Amino acid sequence: MFVIFALVGAVFGFVVILGFVKSGATEVFDRTLLLAMRDPDNIQNPWGPRWVQEMARDFTALGGFPFLTLLTAALAGYLCMGGKKALAAIIVVATLIALLLSSGLKHVIDRARPDLVPHGQHVYTASFPSGHSMHSAATYLTLGGLWARFQRRRRIQWFILSFAVLIPLLVGISRVYLGVHWPTDVLGGWAAGTGCALLTLLFARGILSVSKIVEEEGAAVEHAAAASRESRKYGSR
């Protein structure tokens, strides 16, 4: 039930953010937060030394399409080899849907990229929502949720989920730091990506529940067959 409420909240949050963006109500917020990450003496430069800038590019790469594609492919292959092909298919399809949804929203909304500061990375698409933020939230929250589900200790579950949340946060912040997205682009990306992850986890939970029932029924049938064979064996004596 919590996942359903969270899913509704994520969708509602995205719609609200989009409404504010379309109305222009976020302009002051976006400009203020974006400039807060720049050198006050020269807004052409991001805040901090060069190593901070390089670290931001490393963080942003964690939400890039090439890295997330490799990560998803590796997970799908692992699940397939473990006999969970349906679960692997759900994860791959969910990743593709998140990509298509992000591209479609960018095309329809067509928000311009920030023009206050130089971009710290080459960009080719529209600004809202942030694709890196959306894809990283969708991928890492899905993987973290699935991984945590198989852990018995609550401490380990929270450890996994904390990193599943932390990585998309770092990715989104790095997009604003590099000057390639408005803060509300990132907020919208986080909301949409979280919604995709929660929807995927709901489907995955259903698949896992069905698989568990099938395994239990198969084990019961096998046990009954073994008992029948034993009874016939001793009956023949």
Neighbouring-strand partners of residue 46: 38
Return the SS3 of 163: helix
Contact 116, 179 (CB under 8 A): yes
Q: Is 107 among the residues known to form the active site? A: no
Q: List the catalytic residue out of 107, 119, 122, 132.
A: 132
Q: List the catalytic residue out of 107, 122, 135, 181.
A: 181
Q: Is 181 among the residues known to form the active site? A: yes
Contact 174, 59 (CB under 8 A): yes
Closest by Cα among 163, 175, 179 to 59: 175
Burial bucket for residue 114 (CB in 10 Å: 0-12, 13-18, 19+):
buried
The span from the CA of 77 to the CA of 64, in Å, is 20
Tell me the CA end-to-end span of the chain in Å, nearest whole number: 56
The span from the CA of 129 to the CA of 109, in Å, is 9
Measured N-to-C along each axis, helices 154-177 and 131-149 cross at an angle, to the nearest 10 degrees, of 170
Catalytic residues: 132, 181
